[in-house]
């Protein structure tokens, strides 16, 4: 198979033509200038201007045009300026030697200039490639920065000491810190203590290269103190030698998913507790204790009695001494059914009441006297939520959830969960009431079916017992 030699294709040949044209023109120009200046210069220097032509031809065309310029300059100088002038052949040995030296010098100059030209072009090519590489790097960094900053999840570069090296805005939004505040901390500073050791147990083998990545669900403390659940995936970033130098962390906020999972688990536990007893007081007490501390710091359950007064059947708090104190306080300041807010309002309207933040005017309005105001202030109540207990259209009472020392602020999600808990509790209480009424009815019916007296039979003791059919 025939192949073309490098540089023999038509495009390459056409690209070289201008260089040869420049070489010919340079020699012609040198000849013209030499002819014009020759009468004015006494010193014989036939080759001086032709060296310039050789340099120009080589610089603009390369080695080939430079050698062509050398050849043309040799013929031109020999023909026009070496004696005898205008011969076709030079037979003087001295003149031949001069022409030979010019050819060698011209060839040397051509090679030298060609090398310089090639070096210059290579330098320009390297400079151009460097600029292209820098532009590609800049664009790559811009794409990375855009991906890093605009990602829908938190992304961070973390050193093996736990320090944040670089964080994106999404991570700052998740944990509530500014970028500057976060870079002054370590991930250990904002990790929940119960989750820290599990995180470190996975972090150490990542540092040593035993594993390349790991994932874990854990909790961070937000800047204001609340807890956020995150799904954390960490990978090692290695240096040129393959040694881990820092880590890349991807953080996704899963607080809402965890809230739904925990709410479902809480409702399952509540359902089991509500079905464990037919005593309505025990049932409501179990509701109160389930709510603390998952839903509230305090939980109070009030039931409407037949005379429309309130019976406080349960008070729950993690501290038993505070529970006893709350009962004493209730004796001094019983709940007001006719109040325009709180339990009284919820019972009258049948609608829940959610106060996300306790304002000072509301605290003033709730206080019965100066001592009561001081007590309420010392409790440190942050937020409260009241849901009525309604079953089959009948108002049974209300459940009050109070946030105090935890600092939690109730929201729509908490209201939805509390309403579902109250609905289940109300049905359990109503079922217990129906069972009690049915049992009392059955007992009265049994008593009415038994005879009022028994005949006396000497030597025989007579007794009666009601036995339902089918038993």
DSSP per-residue codes, 159-193: -TTSBEEEE-HHHHHHHT--HHHHHTSBHHHHB-H
- Range among 119-128, 271-280, 410-419, 424-433 rated most confident: 410-419
> Does residue 469 sit in helix, strand or coil?
coil
Rounded CA-CA distance 284/289 in Å is: 9
Joined tokens for residue 412: 């729509």
> Does residue 420 sit in helix, strand or coil?
helix
Burial of 283 (0-12, 13-18, 19+ CB in 10 A): buried
The answer to pTM > 0.75 is no
- Find how far residue 258's CA is from the centre of its chain: 17
Lowest mean per-residue pLDDT among 47-56, 76-85, 120-129: 76-85
Q: Who contacts 35 (Cβ-Cβ below 8 Å, separation ≥6)?
A: 80
Rounded CA-CA distance 289/317 in Å is: 8
Q: Is the pLDDT of residue 120 over 70?
A: yes
Q: Is the pLDDT of residue 55 over 80?
A: yes
Segment 79-105 mean pLDDT: 68
Joined tokens for residue 261: 């999972």
* Closest among 65, 63, 87 to 76, alpha carbons compared: 87
Rounded CA-CA distance 374/364 in Å is: 10
Q: State the chain's maximal CA–CA distance in angstroms.
A: 182
End-to-end CA distance of the chain: 108
Please indicate whether residue 447 or residue 353 has the higher confidence score (pLDDT). 353
Rounded CA-CA distance 100/78 in Å is: 11
Q: Who contacts 428 (Cβ-Cβ below 8 Å, separation ≥6)?
A: 274, 275, 280, 283
* Closest among 307, 341, 301, 311 to 426, alpha carbons compared: 301
Q: Who contacts 405 (Cβ-Cβ below 8 Å, separation ≥6)?
A: 297, 380
pLDDT tens, position by position, 211-268? 889 999 999 999 988 889 999 999 988 877 778 888 999 999 999 898 888 888 888 8
pLDDT tens, position by position, 370-429? 777 777 777 778 888 999 999 888 888 899 999 888 878 888 888 999 999 889 888 888
pLDDT classification of 204: cutoffs 50, 70, 90 = confident
* Closest among 222, 220, 221, 244 to 230, alpha carbons compared: 220
Rounded CA-CA distance 179/156 in Å is: 11
Rounded CA-CA distance 374/276 in Å is: 40
What pLDDT does residue 165 have?
A: 92
Rounded CA-CA distance 4/16 in Å is: 17
Task: Say if residues 357 and 382 touch (Cβ distance below 8 Å).
Answer: yes
Task: Say if residues 22 and 60 touch (Cβ distance below 8 Å).
Answer: yes
What pLDDT does residue 4 have?
A: 53
């Amino acid at each position: 198979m025939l192949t073309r030699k490098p540089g023999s294709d038509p495009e390459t040949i056409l690209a070289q033509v201008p260089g040869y044209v420049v070489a010919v023109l340079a020699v012609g120009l040198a000849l013209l200038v030499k002819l014009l200046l020759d009468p004015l210069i006494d010193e014989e220097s036939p080759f001086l201007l032709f060296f310039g032509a050789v340099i120009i031809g080589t610089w603009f065309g390369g080695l080939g045009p430079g050698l062509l310029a050398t050849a043309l300059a040799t013929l031109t100088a020999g023909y026009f300026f070496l004696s005898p002038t205008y011969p076709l052949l030079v037979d003087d040995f001295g003149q031949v030697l001069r022409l030979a030296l010019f050819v060698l010098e011209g060839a040397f100059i051509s090679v030298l200039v060609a090398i310089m030209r090639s070096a210059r072009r290579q330098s320009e090519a390297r400079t151009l490639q460097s600029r292209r590489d820098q532009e590609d790097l800049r664009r790559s960094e811009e794409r990375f920065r855009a991906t890093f900053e605009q990602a829908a999840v938190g992304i961070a570069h973390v050193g093996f000491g736990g320090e944040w090296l670089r964080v994106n805005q999404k991570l700052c939004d998740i944990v509530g810190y500014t970028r500057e505040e976060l870079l002054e901390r370590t991930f250990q500073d904002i990790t929940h203590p119960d989750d820290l050791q599990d995180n470190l147990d996975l972090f150490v083998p990542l540092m040593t290269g035993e594993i390349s990545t790991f994932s874990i669900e854990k909790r961070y403390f937000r800047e204001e103190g609340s807890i956020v659940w995150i799904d954390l995936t960490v990978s090692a970033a290695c240096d040129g030698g393959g040694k881990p130098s820092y880590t890349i962390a991807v953080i996704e906020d899963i607080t809402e998913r965890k809230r739904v999972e925990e709410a479902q688990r809480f409702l399952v536990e509540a359902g089991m507790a509500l079905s464990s007893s037919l005593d309505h007081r025990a049932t409501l007490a179990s509701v109160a204790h389930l709510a603390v501390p998952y839903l509230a710091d305090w939980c109070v359950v009030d039931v409407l009695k037949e005379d429309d007064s309130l019976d406080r059947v349960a008070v729950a708090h993690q501290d038993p001494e505070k529970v006893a104190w709350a009962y004493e306080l209730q004796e001094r300041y019983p709940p007001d059914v006719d109040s325009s807010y709180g339990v009284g309002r919820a019972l009258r309207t049948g609608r829940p009441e959610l106060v996300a933040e306790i304002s000072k005017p509301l605290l003033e309005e709730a206080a019965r006297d100066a001592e009561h105001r001081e007590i309420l202030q010392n409790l440190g109540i942050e937020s409260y939520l009241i849901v009525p207990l309604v079953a089959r259209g009948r108002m049974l009472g209300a459940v009050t959830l109070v946030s105090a020392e935890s600092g939690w602020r109730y929201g729509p999600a908490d209201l939805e969960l509390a309403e579902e808990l109250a609905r289940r509790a109300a049905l359990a209480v109503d079922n217990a009431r129906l069972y009690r009424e049915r049992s009392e009815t059955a007992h009265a019916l049994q008593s009415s079916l038994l005879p009022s007296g028994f005949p006396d039979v000497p030597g025989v003791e007579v007794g009666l017992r009601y036995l339902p059919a089918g038993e």
